[in-house]
Amino acid sequence: MAAIVRISSVCHRGGKLLFYRSSLLARPLVTQQKDQDRSYPLTARIHGSSSLRAAGSVSKAASLHWTGERVVSVLLLALGPAAYYFPGPAVDYSLAAALTLHGHWGIGQVLTDYVHGEPKIKMANAGLFLLSTVTFAGLCYFNYNDVGICKAVALLWSK
């Protein structure tokens, strides 16, 4: 089988790797004792994009956004059982906010990936904010003037 390899086919005599002289590695992984005091210079440079060289505050904002997305996802997981066991206005409005925010961030990532060109991005983001606002307002209206999200889901399951 391909996963079973003899050690002698990977290593040469003296512990040097088969790929030691290959251009794939900048330095060998296994060497003899006498070769360990030699330094191995990098053979190629890796160039990142200009966005990777941006200030640290952008990275901090992205990190906080990523953490916020995970918190909202875990909150939605917790709100499912809470909506079943403790239906009420507090859980209804929490679900409305969390579902809207989760959907807003998710569709925002799709727009980031698939919409190109400055005017198209601005129009797509404006449409997303409008959709998110209407969604949240509609869910709040439904919670205030009707049975609420929790009882509506329970009614759907009961029939």
Binding residues for heme b are: 102
Which is nearest to 29 in space by CA: 41, 11, 43?
A: 11
23 DSSP 8-state letter? T
Annotated binding-site residue numbers for a ubiquinone: 114
Sign of the torsion formed by the C-alpha atoms of 100, 103, 106 and 111: negative
Annotated binding-site residue numbers: 102, 114
With H, G, I as helix, E, B as strand and everything else as coil, classify residue 159.
Answer: coil
With H, G, I as helix, E, B as strand and everything else as coil, classify residue 131.
Answer: helix
